[in-house]
Amino acid sequence: MDLAIIAGGKGTRLGLKDTPKPMVEVGGKPLLEHQVNLAKRYAIKNIYMLSGHLSEVIVDYFGDGKKIGVNIIHIVEKSPLGTAGAVKQLESRLDERFMVFYGDVFLDIDLKSFMDFDMKTNSIADIIVHPNDHPHDSDLVDSNDENIVTAFYSKPHDENQYYRNLVNAAVYILSPDIFEYIPQDKPSDFGKDIFPLVLQSDKVIRAYKTAEYIKDIGTIERLKKVSKDMISGKVKRFSKRYKRPAIFIDRDGTLVEEVDLLHRVEDLELLSFSASAIKKINNSAYLSFLITNQPVVARNLCDTSVIAQIHNKLETLLGREGAYLNDIYFCPHHPESGYPCENPDFKIDCNCRKPKTGMISKAVKEYNVDVESSWVIGDRTTDIQTGKNAGMKTILVRTGNAGQDRKFEVSPDYIFDNIEDSVDFILSKKQAVS
């Protein structure tokens, strides 16, 4: 598979004058060199370097790539063409699926896993998505349960809307069919122009979600953070090549205010300490997952689309505080019958309803979770039993139900007042700190 790197950024917010943005130094090397080395690690040999602003700096540094062990072909645009317009220049050169990087993104990801995902699809585009700590300043994506992209939301976002924290990571695998949607010699952008246009057709775009290290170098603060994360080893540890511990968190009464059978968006409110707790997890080696039973669907109080909207609000509120969940899993089922107007489609004895471990098992598979080093935090004995069933350590919090459901005769490993105290305890262990 060939790779196209869009390397035309100016780096205005970084204060760059004589250096194009993709050549900003990170860990003693230009950002572009890190991308080239990543491609080389996964046997990508042919790299098209699409540059514009100060292109001579890039051309002089890399040459034909032979010294690095790759083959670099330089394409210099005469005037700014945008991300899609730049790639359009390769139409006559590419007749098979190819990968795209944006040159201002630092990443260390398992490209083989992404390429394996792509091999199982018949899409016009597969794009990498992930949550981040600044969704308000990012281009966002939405997708369904089958990982089919349903919408693109370019920044700036409507402050009166709630959005899923699912960021376009600017890493794609594209079919040559994409060229049909890109105008010739006219500036256009994938996220703002081309992908939304594709969604209007019968073509499919799929989302590949990852918790690996991906950060755009858009500001001096983000550049400093990436450099710090490289030195600490955080960048490497976040790769899917390695197992990571996780903290699985209950929703109602643990992360948000307890509301009986919550089924309205307006009723969801974060507990005051929740965003701080999640942010601490984000800054650690741990992944953060929400696992929640939502029998309101089976009882027909609402459908799954409303649950999605509720979780969009949750993610938006966390994002405003610079925090994010790596993923959200919910069970819409309830095995018991007899409720008025119940939805029979969801009246099943599933494997995902807590205390069963289906939601946890799915996260373990999708994110390569280290089970033995992971935790479950919740306010009910159901949560504690779930953790025990999964072979994880458990914490009961005194918020919400505070263990008064008494459904299971089970004791937590620890008890704390709230989720933040619980997270502080977990992260106080030396091996947990990133």
Residues 314, 405, single domain; the answer is: yes
Number of helical H runs and strand E runs in the chain: 12, 19
Compute the distance between CA of residue 330 and CA of residue 304 in angstroms, rounded to an integer: 10
In a domain, 164, yes or no: yes
pLDDT at residue number 14: 65
Query: What is the token pair recorded at 83?
Result: 């991300």
Q: Name the domain boundary from 173, 191, 223.
A: 223
Q: Name the domain boundary from 223, 252, 279.
A: 223
Residues 289, 331, single domain; the answer is: yes
pLDDT at residue number 236: 86
181 with 197: CB under 8 angstroms?
A: yes
SS3 content of the chain, % helix, strand, coil (to 5): 35, 20, 45
Nearest to 207 by CA among 105, 114, 329, 319: 114
**What are residue 348's phi and psi, to 5 degrees?**
-135, 155
Q: For residue 393, list its beta bridge partners.
A: 375
Task: Fill in the DSSP letter of residue 354.
Answer: T
In a domain, 316, yes or no: yes
Residues 405, 335, single domain; the answer is: yes
Compute the distance between CA of residue 298 and CA of residue 347 in angstroms, rounded to an integer: 6
Residues 207, 331, single domain; the answer is: no
Nearest to 125 by CA among 77, 68, 182, 86: 182
In a domain, 130, yes or no: yes
Residues 344, 425, single domain; the answer is: yes
Domain harbouring 80, CATH code: 3.90.550.10
The tally of domains found in the chain comes to: 2
**Tens of pLDDT along the chain (434 residues)?**
999 999 987 656 666 777 888 999 998 899 999 999 999 999 998 999 999 888 999 999 999 999 999 999 999 998 999 999 999 999 999 999 999 999 999 999 999 999 999 999 899 999 999 999 999 989 999 999 899 999 999 989 999 999 999 999 999 999 999 999 999 989 999 999 999 999 999 999 999 999 999 998 878 888 888 988 888 888 888 989 899 999 999 999 999 999 999 999 999 999 999 999 999 999 999 999 999 999 999 999 999 999 999 999 999 999 999 999 999 999 999 988 777 788 999 999 999 999 999 999 999 999 999 999 999 999 999 999 999 999 999 999 999 999 999 999 999 999 999 999 999 999 997 544 43
Compute the distance between CA of residue 229 and CA of residue 265 in angstroms, rounded to an integer: 36
A 10 A CB-CB count for 332 gives 22
Domain harbouring 370, CATH code: 3.40.50.1000
316 with 265: CB under 8 angstroms?
A: no
Residue 141 belongs to what domain range? 2-223
In a domain, 235, yes or no: no
In a domain, 232, yes or no: no
Compute the distance between CA of residue 226 and CA of residue 158 in angstroms, rounded to an integer: 29
Residues 208, 257, single domain; the answer is: no
In a domain, 230, yes or no: no
pLDDT at residue number 18: 78
Compute the distance between CA of residue 286 and CA of residue 50 in angstroms, rounded to an integer: 36
Q: How far is CA 236 from CA 43, 239, 240, 246, 352, in A?
A: 19, 6, 9, 17, 32
pLDDT at residue number 13: 65
Residues 383, 273, single domain; the answer is: yes
Compute the distance between CA of residue 151 and CA of residue 196 in angstroms, rounded to an integer: 7
**Intra-chain end-to-end CA distance of the chain, in Å:** 34
Residues 196, 342, single domain; the answer is: no
A 10 A CB-CB count for 412 gives 21
pLDDT at residue number 434: 39
Residues 322, 399, single domain; the answer is: yes
Residues 421, 275, single domain; the answer is: yes
In a domain, 233, yes or no: no
Compute the distance between CA of residue 113 and CA of residue 144 in angstroms, rounded to an integer: 20
Which residues are identified as catalytic? 250, 252
The string of DSSP codes covering 331-363 is E--------TT--GGG-S--SSSTTS-HHHHHH
pLDDT at residue number 189: 96
- pTM for this entry: 0.91
* Strand 125-130, strand 167-174: pairing: antiparallel
In a domain, 196, yes or no: yes
Query: What is the token pair recorded at 293?
Result: 């039973």
170 with 105: CB under 8 angstroms?
A: yes
Residues 131, 65, single domain; the answer is: yes
pLDDT at residue number 338: 74
pLDDT at residue number 49: 97
